Amino acid sequence: MKFLVCISLVPDTTTKISFVDNDTKFNNDKVQWILNPYDEWYALVRALELKEANGGTVTVINVGPAANDQVIRKALAIGADDAIRVDGADDLDSFGVATNIAAVAKDGGYDIILLGKETISYNGSNIGGMLAELLDQPFVSLATKLEVSGNTATASREIEGGKETLEVNTPFVLSAAKGMAEQRIPNMKGIMSAKSKPLKVVPAVSAPAYTSVVKYELPPAKAAVKLVSPDNVEELVTLLHNEAKAI
């Protein structure tokens, strides 16, 4: 079975977010880039587990510049067999990224394409659905579980206050959420072998931009906390009712 895992790079979760150029660009000065947690912990690891159980290959794909290679190699260190990086298109919107992944996937014969449920930078939850539509495949979103037997898969997905279980035939696209797998820390052998695993660079295809970010903004600073004595919780109730109007 052939798996394709879409991996994105995001600022480390502890990053203090700031902007430059009149708040039109993310300030990437001193930012440490990591694999998007949903892509790494859930999509990639589940693909590896299924490959280990049933055989096959796991390819990771990233649409981004050469500077990404070092982080892409981390996915190889965790266990992916090879990587593809789509080069030469900066500042793509979701549709541009999806179009480029679709262009690679179209003739790749992948049985299951996995993504993270969203990037922790753009919070789009966009690319999986777009990719599925571009490839005319079923889309299982926000999946917390995936079992495969032959060309049939059973998956669970998060729905508000519960879960849905469904059956789907390959090929299909799936976005992975928490519950799917456990994070894997690459070991020394993985890190060493990652250096010699293939990382193929392919040129980007052009795609119209549907959207563009025109400005960023930080949330307004919070006023100082109002402390209430633990012996006077009634005061908190009064404040929540009269002042905050929250209850």
Partner 1 sequence: MSVLFLVESVNGQVKKNSFEAASYASKVAAQLGTEAIGVALGTVENSALAELGEYGATKVLHVTDASLDAFDSGVYASVVAQVAQSAGANVVVISQTSLGKAVAPRLSVKLQAGVVPGAVALPDTSNGFVVKKGAFSGKAFAYVKVDTDVKIVGLVPNAFGAIKGSGAATVENATANIPASGVKVLEVSRATGDTLPLPEAELVVSAGRGMKGPENWGIIEDLANVLGATTACSRPVADVGWRPHHEHVGQTGVAIRPDLYIAIGISGAIQHLAGVNQSKVIVVINKDPEAPFFKAADYGIVGDAFEVVPKLTEALKKFKAAQ
Ligand X SMILES: Cc1cc2nc3c(=O)[nH]c(=O)nc-3n(C[C@H](O)[C@H](O)[C@H](O)COP(=O)(O)OP(=O)(O)OC[C@H]3O[C@@H](n4cnc5c(N)ncnc54)[C@H](O)[C@@H]3O)c2cc1C
Q: Which stretches of the chain bind ligand X, using CB under 6 A?
A: 13, 37
Which token pair is 201?
């660079």
Q: According to the binding rule CB under 6 A, does residue 116 interact with ligand AMP?
A: yes
Contact between 103 and ligand AMP per CB under 6 A:
no
* Residues 6+ positions from 189 with CB-CB distance below 8 Å: none
Residue 78 gets the label, from left (phi > 0), alpha (psi -120 to 50) or beta, of: alpha
3-state secondary structure at position 134: helix
User: Which residues 119-158 are close enough to bind ligand AMP by CB under 6 A?
Assistant: 119, 122-128
- By beta-carbon distance, which residue lies closest to ligand X? 13
Task: List the single partner that 237 binds among partner 1, ligand X, ligand AMP, none, CB under 5 to 8 Å by kind.
Answer: partner 1
The one among 71, 78, 113, 115 contacting ligand AMP by CB under 6 A: 115
Shortest reach from residue 157's CB to ligand X, in Å: 19
Altogether, the residues listed in the chain come to a count of 247
Which residue's CB is nearer to ligand AMP, number 158 or number 236? Answer: 158
Q: CB of 192: closest distance to partner 1 in angstroms?
A: 29
Q: Are 85 and 64 in contact (CB under 8 A)?
A: yes
Q: Which string of x and - marks every residue 35-54 that binds ligand AMP (by CB under 6 A)? A: -x-xx---------------
Minimum CB separation of residue 104 from ligand X in Å reads 28
CB-hemisphere CA count at 13 Å for 168?
23
* Nearest to ligand X of 13, 206 (CB atom): 13
The reply to whether 94 sits near ligand AMP by the rule CB under 6 A is yes
Longest dimension (CA), the chain: 68
118 counts as binding ligand AMP under rule CB under 6 A: yes
Handedness of CA 233, 234, 238, 240 (dihedral sign): positive
Query: Whole-angstrom Cα distance, residue 214 to residue 24?
Result: 6
Sequence-ordered list of residues with C-beta below 8 angstroms from that of 23, at least 6 positions apart, any chain: 215, 216, 217
| Residue 7 near ligand AMP by CB under 6 A | yes
| CA geometry: angle 52, 57, 62, nearest 5 deg | 120
CB of 38 to ligand X, least distance (A): 10
> Which of 36/137 has CB closer to ligand AMP?
36
Residues 40, 103, 88: CA angle, nearest 5 degrees: 75
Q: Which residue lies nearer to ligand AMP by CB, 94 or 144?
A: 94
| 62 makes contact with ligand AMP (CB under 6 A) | yes
User: Cβ distance 197 to 83 under 8 Å?
Assistant: yes
Interaction site with ligand AMP (CB under 6 A): 6-8, 36, 38-39, 61-64, 94, 97, 115-116, 118-119, 122-128
